[in-house]
Structure 1
């Protein structure tokens, strides 16, 4: 299917690329939301397997949203396709939370063509911020996501069945996951990273806490680089979850988990903690979605615990990762006011330090208490 040197950075180029293929299209529309790739909704001239619209995702050897073309190896698509096909195969036929079906992968042009989640679908983050769902929908969504992640992690515990050897090649995924959280915790808190929300005045974090965070950061980065606890999604947050409700908005039709480019063997608690941190941020910065976000979170944790079984170690990993995510990401994303941002970062410091030394009793009263 690959053309020689195809232009896939423009609509006109995508139309030309698709013209001689079964996916020839009359309309192509760029989709927003992602940072790493060029993504388009394609309107097929002739339905493909009775489908009239699909999504085309093209990778370049750099981050699409980076003005300086930050390098990013295109082999990330091989990881994504392998992961999505494998996870698709382990989901039950009646699962509400799924991954899109991949219809074509061109590893020369670096193109993936997959199911379209639908014009009415929005990310879970958008849904919570703009139109928080009723509690009944939030509960169904949380339970579905808990079931989804637990199924992935239970299956992923067997390195042969879930093909850890193949995913071990994703060193780029390990490096990214380690750096974007634990690799910049101390520099964030000391002011070295010059983040406006944390300056004037700088945060006053006790040296003893910084020492603890430095030690746990090294430990967690080592675990990210070496762990084979299970197969992890690697980027399980509300921006990678597309949600489609019925027209009335009072029931969940389907949710899709997207962007598997950093899937790898790793630490289960990091997937859990990333999701929990983001849902917690939603309710901290947008009180209007507090009830919905809390319901999603509670149902997610309870369903995951019941389906996967969780020991204290997994719960501690999750709690520490909540703290790491709040510290590393909150001040770098335009969540809200400077004052609230600083509050949430300092809250994250507490989760890091206390979670690292947590007892089972402490964990039961924590944000991830429903896991234990």
Structure 2
């Protein structure tokens, strides 16, 4: 597989593939792949995504290229499996234009220039409504793919990467002065389940940074879901927990606009999940906020310690069966066991 990492290499590939364009713009924001926006002669924009056998931003770290195969499969299959989802704001999976499995080049429609994370502080956006809309869409994804014949393949890379926060949880807790055995118990009891969970198709990286917004003048936004390379069969609780955790961090550090609580309440209303499912949501939520802010900066060292401590409290409650998400200030105290 010839490398496609520079504008010259991409131009050569596009010419050989017969893909015409008028301009190319490299895109930043992701870490794993090489991504560009193409302007076509008919006025459209397309996104080109290419995988090398390493993380694009850290070439010393290997990363299997089969991630592109799973994403292409998801872009083809998910819209068909879901059908039409009635939500207040239109939500869609970006359309696959073409996929070159040999070169690991995926061409898809352009879902928008800004993510929900980037747009969170825009005062004209109805943030709680967008959170509720996304949770209803996610609940439909999980319900529509609950049968075992709905599959995107066995994505072992996704399962391995998804356990990263569980594997690192004990060290993160210890670094900020908390009992590392809590992290060890969570990893043993719940991280170990990620390999065998088989309830539905999960997006695998469901967070506000993978939701693109498009707005025409002052019209309501449309939402597009991107970055499906970590899709897998698993438990939908991890999708819910990841989005809720990242939304909670946005609320805490970017303006308290109510994204997390609106998302969680709407998912529960739509999916009517079991108590054990909710426990898994809470475990994943607590793991995420206790681990990721120790490597992705949200605030000061002291603010990070506070967040890790909140995550620790959430996890202690989940382990003891006496949890409530009020521990994280979400105002959803009725979710207790």
Fold shared by both chains (TM-score > 0.5): yes
Give unmatched runs, 5+ long, in structure 1.
Answer: 192-202
Q: Partner of 1:24: helix, strand, or coil? A: coil
1:101-121 superposed Cα distances (whole Å, 9 cap, x missing partner):
001000011100000123xx3
Q: Partner of 1:55: helix, strand, or coil? A: strand
- The residue correspondences of 1:247-326 to structure 2 (distance < 5 A) are 247-248=217-218, 251-286=219-254, 289-291=255-257, 294=258, 296-326=259-289
Relative distance call for 1:7 and 1:87 in structure 2 (3 A) is same
The 1-side partners of 2:246 and 2:274 are apart by 23
Relative distance call for 1:365 and 1:60 in structure 2 (3 A) is closer
Match of 1:170 among 136, 155, 158: 155
Aligned position for 1:196? none
Relative distance call for 1:304 and 1:91 in structure 2 (3 A) is farther
Aligned position for 1:195? none
2:189 is equivalent to residue 219 of structure 1 = yes
Q: Contact 2:310 / 2:327 at 8 angstroms: preserved in 1? A: no
Match of 2:119 among 110, 115, 127: 127
Match of 2:312 among 349, 358, 371: 349
The 1-side partners of 2:55 and 2:206 are apart by 19
The 1-side partners of 2:225 and 2:111 are apart by 10
Q: Partner of 1:345: helix, strand, or coil? A: helix
2:170 is equivalent to residue 186 of structure 1 = yes
Match of 1:147 among 136, 150, 166: 136
Q: Partner of 2:256: helix, strand, or coil? A: helix
Q: Partner of 1:290: helix, strand, or coil? A: coil
Quote how far apart the aligned CAs of 1:364 are: 7.7
Match of 2:296 among 327, 333, 336: 333
Q: Partner of 1:265: helix, strand, or coil? A: strand
Give unmatched runs, 5+ long, in structure 2.
Answer: none
The 1-side partners of 2:274 and 2:326 are apart by 12
Q: Contact 1:298 / 1:370 at 8 angstroms: preserved in 2? A: no
2:1 is equivalent to residue 10 of structure 1 = no
Structure 1: which 4+ aligned runs deviate by more than 6 Å? none
2:58 is equivalent to residue 66 of structure 1 = yes
Aligned position for 1:200? none
After superposition, the CA RMSD in angstroms is: 2.2
Relative distance call for 1:88 and 1:22 in structure 2 (3 A) is farther
Match of 1:29 among 5, 25, 30: 25
2:77 is equivalent to residue 86 of structure 1 = yes
Quote how far apart the aligned CAs of 1:143 are: 2.1
Quote how far apart the aligned CAs of 1:302 are: 2.8
The farther-off stretch of 222-231 and 13-22 is 13-22
